């Protein structure tokens, strides 16, 4: 499997997930033109896209769903709740999935898990025969069932949206602050850190996602996450809004993994 985050944040989200035979875009928050440009910048051939999976109806994840269906000539997967809240008229390309029902696009198995947000939203666990990757952004609270869902992942891409002090002192009016902090809002650095503390030796890489440009900084988010991971052998990365990144799905063999090294995806990359 190969994972390329094309952009992450409130200005637009899109991640390319590739297996040996299948290529899927997760979310449609960047324009189709930007997707092509960023894939090209990462040395990825735009080629065939086998499906687009929309996590929820907010524009930074779904605004370009219709144009992806046409530009990439592909099916678009969304839950019924999301379908009711997005402008999407390419009915022939629509595929509806259940918020807690596993489905497949080609040889990529996708396991959604409903999470609390102010639009019906899912975290995703994606696997091929070698690798299990989790993606969870846009959630106000981490429920115990989600921790179980994500602990099975080799690689976890997880929201670390805001720093609570910065949100208090920042530009958002009080009612927006309440929305961001609420059970249906976003995860702050400390709540993300609580989840990171639960991870086991199964997980070798964490990518912090969807950082707020107004209410967070890379330095603060990284420091809080590093503290939570200080006793663990887990590599930490930060996704960017404006530049794509390739997510390392395996570690180089020169690193010392400890006793469980053989279980760690030495064959993860295609």
- Chosen residue from 58, 125, 127, 264 binding Zn ion by CB under 5 A: 58
CB of 34 to Zn ion, least distance (A): 16
Q: Which residues contact 120 (CB under 8 A, 6 or more apart)?
A: 56, 57, 79, 81, 82, 99, 114
Residue 186 in contact with Zn ion, rule: CB under 5 A: no
Q: Return the number of the residue (136 or 247) whose C-beta is nearest Zn ion.
A: 136
- State how far the Cα of 82 lies from the Cα of 121, in Å rounded to an integer: 8
Alpha-carbon separation of residue 211 from 6, 34, 43, 198 (angstroms): 14, 20, 25, 21
Q: Which is nearer to Zn ion, 61 or 149 (CB)?
A: 61
Q: Min. distance of Cβ 55 from Zn ion in angstroms? A: 8
60 lies in the binding site for Zn ion (CB under 5 A): yes
Q: With respect to Zn ion, which residue has the nearer C-beta, 50 or 138?
A: 138
* CA nearest to 35, candidates 59, 64, 78: 64
Least spacing, CB of residue 227 vs Zn ion, in Å:
25
Residues with Cβ < 8 Å from 167, sequence gap 6 or more?
A: 177, 180, 181, 188, 212, 215
Instruction: Let me know how many helices (H) and strands (E) the chain has, helices first.
Output: 9, 14
Beta-bridged to residue 253, according to DSSP, are none
Binding span for Zn ion by CB under 5 A among 70-78, 135-143, 243-251, 260-268: 135-143
Cβ of residue 186: shortest distance to Zn ion, in angstroms? 8
Stretch that binds Zn ion, among 55-63, 108-116, 172-180, 195-203 (CB under 5 A): 55-63
Q: Which C-beta is closer to Zn ion: that of 28 or that of 132? A: 28
Count of residues that bind Zn ion according to CB under 5 A: 3
Which residue's CB is nearer to Zn ion, number 10 or number 250? 10
Site for Zn ion in 208-227 (CB under 5 A): none
Binding to Zn ion by residue 138, rule CB under 5 A?
yes
Could you tell me which stretch among 34-42, 130-138, 149-157, 212-220 binds Zn ion (CB under 5 A)?
130-138
Residue 86: CA count within 13 A, CB half-sphere? 33
If one asks whether residue 159 binds Zn ion (CB under 5 A), the answer comes out as no
Find out whether 201 and 174 touch, Cβ atoms under 8 Å.
Answer: no
The angle formed by the CA atoms of residues 124, 130 and 136, to the nearest 5 degrees, is 15
**Contact stretch for Zn ion (CB under 5 A) within 15-23, 60-68, 89-97, 126-134:** 60-68
Instruction: Kindly tell me which of 135 and 156 has the beta carbon lying closer to Zn ion.
Output: 135
Q: What does residue 102 show for φ and ψ, rounded to 5 degrees? A: -65, 145
Positions touching Zn ion (CB under 5 A) are: 58, 60, 138
């Amino acid at each position: 499997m190969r994972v390329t985050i094309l952009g992450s944040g409130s200005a637009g989200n899109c991640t390319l997930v590739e297996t040996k035979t299948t290529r899927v875009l997760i979310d449609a928050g960047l324009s189709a033109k930007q997707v092509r440009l960023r894939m090209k910048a990462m040395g990825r051939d735009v080629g065939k896209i086998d499906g687009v999976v929309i996590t929820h109806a907010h524009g930074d994840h779904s605004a370009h769903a219709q144009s992806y269906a046409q530009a990439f000539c592909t099916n678009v997967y969304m839950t019924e709740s999301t379908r009711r809240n997005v402008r999407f008229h390419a009915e022939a390309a629509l595929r509806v999935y259940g918020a807690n029902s596993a489905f497949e696009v080609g040889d990529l198995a996708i396991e959604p898990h409903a999470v609390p947000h102010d639009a019906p939203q899912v975290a995703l666990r994606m696997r091929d025969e070698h690798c299990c990757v989790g993606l969870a952004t846009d959630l106000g609270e981490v429920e115990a069932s989600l921790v179980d869902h994500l602990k099975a992942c080799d690689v976890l891409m997880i929201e670390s949206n805001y720093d609570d002090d910065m949100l208090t002192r920042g530009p958002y009016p009080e009612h927006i602050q309440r929305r961001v902090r609420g059970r249906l809002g976003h995860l702050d650095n400390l709540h993300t850190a609580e989840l990171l503390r639960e991870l086991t030796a199964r997980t070798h890489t964490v990518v912090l996602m969807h950082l707020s440009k107004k209410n967070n900084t890379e330095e603060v988010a990284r420091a809080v996450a590093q503290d939570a991971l200080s006793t663990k052998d887990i590599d930490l990365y930060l996704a960017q809004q404006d530049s794509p990144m390739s997510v390392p799905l395996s570690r180089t063999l020169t690193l010392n993994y400890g006793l469980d090294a053989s279980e760690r995806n030495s064959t993860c990359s295609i």
